[in-house]
Each structure stands twice: as structure tokens, then as C-alpha cells.
């Protein structure tokens, strides 16, 4: 079964300069331990397969909170601590480290590795942040325990600036601040009754109705139904757009600045756009690059080169 979930960027690094992105105060292992990053070694292994640059100077480095541990994501999928740290002899690593050397895509285009925009350099089990009251409440509703730490898998992604300049600029300006991870799981366990499912036809009633919002009392604790993933293999991280929000985003201002940009007499007139409008254009073009005419892409690229 393939699982997807949103993840949060913690910061970016370009040519040695770190910039914090997350609005939440979060201690990042990779931002605090930059010497732990081995970019050249990874690129030597994957650059040919992913058709990305071998030059470390061509990369943005982006640490990201990939998976929370012990609580459900928006899809009501979750990962327990034992699952996350379990050793996988077939891969020679713990489950969380199956992220390593996997590609970075746009819109989960994972069937073709050559369209990767970068690579996941490394992963780390982050246990450095105290659990807030909200986190404690969410974990208790998921697995019935109250944690001391807000545990999560942190990854660091190298994005090839030369392969997709628009996407890289959208990251650098903060127009894009979230990823979505993709993972394959062998089975899932119901958080309420413990039923193990290898496919959707084996789901119990709790999982079939997990989006109902119903709560169940277990040992006096209100719990929600969700899927706890087993034998996970993390496959990739993508930049995505939420289909439910796509139309609203265009109507709320992304489309009009783009039309305005096309109608000006010269590229330099794009400078009349506000900073907010430029960020919206960057975000739009990065997410929907395959749908944008080449003429418009050239105009925007020319502006970025001049700004």
C-alpha cells in the first residue's frame, strides 16, 4: 500500500548560507550539524540515475520534518517508535533510513527517476524537541500514551538548482514551504482493535470509517481510529499542490499576476509587481510547470535572472 503525507521544511542552505523557514520553533539536527552532510559522496552514487548535477555548488540543502512519530497525519496514517527504529536486514538500515538516497519529485512523478529534482541525502531520528500540550494530546489520542518529546524523522534534501531554477527559487523565497512524502507499507494496524490489513479489503469497520470523526474510549482515554503503518519503505519526497485548494488558489490571485506579466511590453516591467505577487508567481510556476507555455516560462525565467 502506498501512503502519502505532508511534511514541513525547517530551513534552506544555498552556497553555505542557512536560512530558517519554519514558523514553529524546532531544533533541526542538520541545521545544527552541517558537517554531518556528505553531498559529494551521495551525488557520485545517484546523479546519473536521477539525471541531476554532480557539482555540489548547484544544490539547495533543505532539512525537513518528514514524519511525526506516534501521532496521525491528515490522512490518519501514523508510525510508532518501534516501527520507525526497527532494523531492516534487507536494506541494512533502520526503517527511517530507507529515505536515504531516494529522489525528490514534483507531484509524486515517481515512475520516472530521471525527472527527479534532487535527492534525499540523509535522515535522522529527531528527539530534541519537547512535546507541546497539543502534541501530547494528539499522541494520546493516537496510541494512548503521553510523550515527553515531539519525535519525528528529519531528512535533508538536496535540490538541483540548475535542473529546475523555478522550483529552487520558489524554495529560496519561501513561496513553497511544504513537501509530501511517499512510502510503501506492507500492512497497517488499526489503532482501535489491532486488526492487521494487507490491503483495503481487509480493513475493519474502524478503518473503513476512520474519517467519520468518531472517538472510542479505551482504558478511559478517548482514541481516534487510524492506520499504524508496518514494514515501511520510504520512497520519495515531492513538492505538491493540494487538488482541493488548486482552483481557489488560482482565483485568489495567482492567475491575475501571471496574465499581468504576459501583457507587459518588456520584461523589466515585471519589477512593478509586488513582492507578494512575485512569490505567488514563483509558487504557481514551480507547482504547475508542466502546464505553463514555454513563452510564459521564458518571461518568468528572464525576470528571475534580472532580479
**Cell match 502546464: residue?**
291
pTM of the model: 0.73
pLDDT tens digits for 119-158?
999 999 999 999 999 999 999 999 999 999 999 998 888 9
Cα–Cα distances in Å, from 244 out to 248, 249, 258, 303? 8, 10, 21, 30
Degrees, nearest 5: CA angle 78-201-184: 40
191 vs 230: CA distance, rounded Å: 12
Q: Which pLDDT band holds residue 259 (cuts at 50, 70, 90)? A: very low
Taking only the tens place, the pLDDT of each residue in 59-113 is: 988 888 888 999 998 889 999 999 999 999 999 999 999 999 999 998 777 789 9
Amino acid at each position: 500500500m502506498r501512503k502519502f503525507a505532508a511534511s514541513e521544511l525547517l530551513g534552506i542552505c544555498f552556497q553555505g548560507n542557512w536560512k530558517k523557514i519554519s514558523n514553529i520553533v524546532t531544533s533541526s539536527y542538520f541545521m545544527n550539524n552541517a558537517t554531518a552532510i556528505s553531498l559529494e559522496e551521495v551525488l557520485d552514487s545517484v546523479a546519473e540515475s536521477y539525471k541531476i548535477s554532480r557539482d555540489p555548488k548547484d544544490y539547495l540543502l533543505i532539512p525537513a520534518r518528514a514524519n511525526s512519530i506516534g501521532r496521525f497525519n491528515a490522512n490518519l496514517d501514523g508510525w510508532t517508535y518501534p516501527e520507525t527504529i526497527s532494523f531492516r536486514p534487507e536494506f541494512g538500515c533502520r526503517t527511517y533510513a530507507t529515505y536515504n538516497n531516494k529522489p525528490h519529485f514534483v507531484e509524486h512523478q515517481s515512475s520516472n527517476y530521471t525527472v527527479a529534482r534532487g535527492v534525499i541525502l540523509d535522515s535522522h531520528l529527531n528527539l530534541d524537541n519537547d512535546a507541546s500540550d497539543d502534541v501530547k494530546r494528539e499522541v494520546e489520542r493516537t496510541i494512548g500514551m503521553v510523550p515527553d518529546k515531539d519525535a519525528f524523522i528529519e531528512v535533508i534534501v538536496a535540490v538541483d538548482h540548475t535542473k529546475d531554477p523555478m522550483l529552487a527559487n520558489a524554495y529560496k523565497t519561501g513561496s513553497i514551504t511544504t513537501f509530501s512524502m511517499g512510502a510503501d507499507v506492507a500492512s497497517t494496524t488499526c489503532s482501535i482493535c489491532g486488526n492487521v490489513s494487507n490491503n483495503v479489503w481487509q480493513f475493519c469497520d474502524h478503518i473503513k470509517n476512520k474519517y467519520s470523526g468518531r472517538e472510542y474510549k479505551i482504558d478511559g482515554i478517548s482514541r481516534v481510529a487510524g492506520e499504524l503503518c508496518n514494514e515501511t519503505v520510504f520512497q520519495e519526497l515531492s513538492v505538491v499542490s493540494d487538488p482541493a485548494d488548486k482552483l481557489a488558489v488560482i482565483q485568489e490571485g495567482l492567475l491575475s499576476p501571471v496574465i499581468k506579466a504576459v501583457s507587459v511590453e518588456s520584461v523589466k516591467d515585471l519589477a512593478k509587481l509586488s513582492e507578494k505577487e512575485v512569490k505567488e508567481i514563483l509558487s504557481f510556476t514551480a507547482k504547475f510547470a508542466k502546464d505553463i507555455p514555454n513563452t510564459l516560462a521564458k518571461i518568468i525565467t528572464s525576470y528571475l535572472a534580472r532580479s
